Amino acid sequence: MTKKRRKKIGIKISISIILLFITLFIDRWINIPDNPVTITLMLVFWFVIFNLFAPKFIQKYKKILIVFYSGVLVAFYYYRFQADQYEHYLAVKNEWILPILIGSLPLLVLLWGYEQWKLIDTLKQEKTQAEMSLLKSQINPHFFFNTLNNLYALTIKNSDRAPEVILKLSDMMRYTIYEGEKERVPIEREINYLKNYIELHKIRYRNNNDIQFNIDNTENNEIAPLLFIILVENAFKHGIERLTTNPFIRIQLVSNSKGIFFSIKNNFEEENDAIGGIGLKNLERRLALTYPDKYDLSIKKLEKEFEVQLNIYMHD
């Protein structure tokens, strides 16, 4: 809140309090029990005060509040002036007028609290979406650089497989740009994306690397896009790209009615201690945001092998 706005609110509160004291003084001086003018001014005073501290709430429910309290005031005026005896008016006031006025206050507070909770929840969701977009933006450029390097290597060699690489790269870019922005995609599309990535690497290395991708997709579940690629890319980067003898990658993906179960294992050089790093931290943060309490992530680093298992459950 700016200094100017605080000053403006302070002036309004001061004026309201001064008018309140003037009203109470006049009421005491005139000495009319339940003076309708005093009651009306008191109600307006609290309405103004509430509007200063919760203007959005008042603006949203202004019509309802005006209709409700206007109705209560009309009923109050009627019984105050039309009652044959003052005792009859007091009975009516104590029976329902005061309970309605007093009972409406906690209801207003509860409604205001609910509106505040909704606002906080909306802000949290917006923050989560912004953070998720940032995490995805940290991943995508790395994919493109790797696949462009594959294409560059092939064009230098005038390989006849360059058109195939361009097509697969195009599919990957289309998936990353259009599907990657969605909250969920069919697991089949994620599988095709992984296949393209693996095939691009196979074309690049042109050797007999042991790369296995076993799929058991009996249920085409939906999943947050671009999760598994972090693990696959990690296996290539720290395994096959650095090993000269007997490199391997074993990937298994199962999708059934219970959920999606993904595991990947690769070997690596002993001196390579930097496996995972930012990529795995990024993955863990995305999982925590997307699947709170609905996933298990197991990371095992043995002497010369690195294994990750990720289970995502579709139901509680």
Instruction: Please give the pLDDT value at position 216.
Output: 92
Give, in order, the Cα–Cα distances in Å from 226 to each of 146, 167, 183: 15, 19, 11
Instruction: Please give the pLDDT value at position 67.
Output: 81
Instruction: Please give the pLDDT value at position 170.
Output: 83
Contacts of 295 (CB under 8 A, 6+ apart): 287, 310, 311, 312, 313
Contacts of 215 (CB under 8 A, 6+ apart): 191, 252, 253
- State the Cα–Cα distance between residues 214 and 42, nearest whole angstrom: 75
Instruction: Please give the pLDDT value at position 255.
Output: 94
Using alpha carbons only, give the angle 18, 19, 21 rounded to the nearest 5 degrees: 65
Instruction: Please give the pLDDT value at position 146.
Output: 62
Percent of the chain exceeding pLDDT 90 equals 14
Residue type, 153: A
Instruction: Please give the pLDDT value at position 187.
Output: 94
- State the Cα–Cα distance between residues 264 and 252, nearest whole angstrom: 6
Instruction: Please give the pLDDT value at position 189.
Output: 92
Instruction: Please give the pLDDT value at position 195.
Output: 92
Per-residue model confidence as pLDDT tens digits over 259-301: 999 999 988 876 555 555 667 777 888 888 888 888 999 988 8
Over the chain (316 residues), the average pLDDT of each successive run of 10 is 66 74 73 70 74 75 79 75 64 67 69 71 60 54 65 72 80 80 88 89 71 89 88 83 80 94 87 60 82 88 87 82
- State the Cα–Cα distance between residues 129 and 108, nearest whole angstrom: 31
